Amino acid sequence: MRITELLDRRSINVNGAASSKEDAINKMVELMCASGKISDKDAYKKKVFAREEEGSTGIGEGIAIPHAKCDAVNKPGLAAMVIKDGVDFDALDGEPVSLIFLIAAPNTKDNVHLDVLGKLSVMMMDEDFSNKLRNAKDVDEFLKIIDDADEESKGIDSYGAEVEGAKCSLIAVTACPTGIAHTYMAAEALEKAAVANNCSIKVETRGSSGAKNVVTDDEIKAADCIIVAADTKVPVDRFAGKKVIQVQVSDGISKADELVKRAMSGNVPVFEATGSDDAAPASGGGIGHSFYKHLMSGVSHMLPFVIGGGILIALAFLFDDFSINPGNFGKNLPIAAFFKTIGEAAFGLMLPVLAGYIAYSIADRPGLAVGFVGGVFAANGNAVLSWVNEAEQNLTYTGFNGFLQNTIFGASGNTVSGFLGALVAGFVAGYVVLGLKAAFAKLPQSMDGIKPILLYPLFGIFIIGTLMMFIFNPLIGVVNTGLANMLNAMGGTSKAVLGIVLGAMMAIDMGGPINKAAYVFGTMAIANGNYDIMAAVMIGGMAPPIGIALATTFFKNRFTKAERSSTISNYIMGLCFITEGAIPFAASDPLHVIPATAVGSAVAGALSMVFGCTLMAPHGGIFVFPVVGNWPMYLVALAIGSVITMFMLALLKKPIEE
């Protein structure tokens, strides 16, 4: 396939103009649509802008190559525009862009067109070629320049050069998330820089059409240094014991000469194997992008535990008999206890998995065990060591033993930090392991084998356990005590205000310490013969998952496919008073989801109080509605709170394009 086969005359403008980067992209999309290759303009445009958020496609030298691969593309295509006066495109070199190619790639298994698009990206780096395109008088001349250059250009399957009398032997690996343009441009730039510095080089490219020019074990052994320019995961454990430079793919394009000279200097750290199959995390995207990527790793692995465990607990309530023992509802009958025990086992792993896989995303496999332990402390608090206090409560300790007994083992109050604590534990664990890697980097190479199986877990688990016990959980315990005191003080004030506070607390951290403080307050109220508080508490915990399920039903474009797949389970968990169904949504987008759920639950709690609803059971959701005082208005309050959550999510969350 030739490049001109992807270009349509209707999609070329040699006399374009644009006032801004956004304006330029909008005009490029219009040009692309003119060829009839786009089925959904808005979906394609969103994908193009989403790619720009990952990093500018303005590669420098006055050139930009925005691109997107999605289902909205019917056929592979190119659009081109020459902007004589240039436009600010946030290019890597800060210079205006005057030549733009927009790439449209269909989301299919047939990727033959990607090689063609990659070849064009490399051709653009030839200054003579790009200048001829800028000066083309009409579309015909523009197409002829491309066709002539295509005839002479090499393919993209074998980047590399053997230099006689080379000063240095290099290997490079290039990869970008889309795998269309930047992968090959970085390969070309590194090859040119290596030759210019009298170095031999072989470049492995990992684009959308797969890995090409893959380096062999013998080539790795012979290399003096390896350059990995990638914004996506590539297998790097094969480089263990070699000097490795890891940078963003954009650096491979704009800083190729600098990277080659750094490799030649020998001032490069030796890479240490982690045992992970895909060890190199994406290096680009900035702090916010990295945070989101690590967070999504934890949330995606946690989701099956939430859904599977939550539905099993819901079945336990369905099969149980509330009248036998209201306080033990869910485990009164053997079959109910069977389902609830299994469901609770899955739920018990939810927060450790969240923390573990956040740490795994940051530090690879060595972070997994450390993150899991941090998540266990977040889920169970310092109560995991309560046996010490129970077994030796009559003994008196002094010195450090006394300090431990009084501050940790004998601590009173709820020290569970919940899913917020698990988030903190996951990130802290990941960076603790990264710190340990740096600290042990200078140990003899003979000890590399014991680092991931002994040193990292030993010191990492000790550190995260200490931090959770001494800092995070005790701090949360203080917060919980303060919340309980505040709620007690509000007991004699307006019921509506108390309902607002209790409802919002149930929806802020969904099973965490704030939620638990409100729940404990409600159960204490039942013991004292006050049943309206528990009603407000339960409805505040039911509204978040139901509101989210409504939002994923009626505002699908605000959620990913994975999030939409949990719609039914969230309806079920919400009706069963399992607030944790909302955790994956809150964890992945806390700034938008938590305010929406808190407001909806606050309204539901206030209405429950105003309508005079009561509840004598501490749990059960819809299965205990027969014992709810004024249950018709209780349903109204729940519906209103859930709908408010739905509309707030629709308002706060932006439409997304997967």
Q: Would you name the residues annotated as active-site residues?
A: 67, 176
Measured in degrees and rounded to the nearest 5, phi and psi for residue 123 equal -60, -35
Retrieve residue 113's tokens: 């067109």
Element (H or E) spanning 42, and its range? helix 41-54
Can you tell me the distance from the alpha carbon of 120 to that of 181, in angstroms, rounded to the nearest whole number?
8
Q: Are strands 199-207 and 244-247 parallel, antiparallel or unpaired?
A: unpaired
Q: How many CB atoms lie within 10 A of CB 560?
A: 14
Which residues on neighbouring strands pair with residue 212, listed in sequence order?
A: 205
Q: How many CB atoms lie within 10 A of CB 137?
A: 9
Burial 193-202 (b: 16+ CB within 10 A, else e): bbbebebbbb
Contact 244, 210 (CB under 8 A): no
Contact 146, 30 (CB under 8 A): no
- Is 392 in a helix, a strand, or coil? coil
Measured in degrees and rounded to the nearest 5, phi and psi for residue 514 equal -70, -45
Retrieve residue 341's tokens: 């025990």
Q: Are strands 168-175 and 225-230 parallel, antiparallel or unpaired?
A: parallel
- What does the radius of gyration of the chain's CA atoms come to, in whole angstroms? 30
Measured in degrees and rounded to the nearest 5, phi and psi for residue 193 equal -65, -40
Burial 203-225 (b: 16+ CB within 10 A, else e): bbbbbbbeebbebeeeebeebbb
Can you tell me the distance from the alpha carbon of 331 to that of 322, in angstroms, rounded to the nearest whole number?
9
Which residues on neighbouring strands pair with residue 172, listed in sequence order?
A: 203, 227
Q: Are strands 67-70 and 159-161 parallel, antiparallel or unpaired?
A: unpaired
Can you tell me the distance from the alpha carbon of 592 to that of 651, in angstroms, rounded to the nearest whole number?
9
- Is 265 in a helix, a strand, or coil? helix
Can you tell me the distance from the alpha carbon of 331 to that of 209, in angstroms, rounded to the nearest whole number?
54
Can you tell me the distance from the alpha carbon of 166 to that of 427, in angstroms, rounded to the nearest whole number?
44
- Termini Cα distance of the chain: 28
Angle at 97 between CA 92 and CA 103, to 5 degrees: 85
Can you tell me the distance from the alpha carbon of 213 to that of 209, in angstroms, rounded to the nearest whole number?
12
**Stated length of the chain:** 658
User: Tokens 């959550």, residue?
Assistant: 645
Contact 601, 645 (CB under 8 A): yes
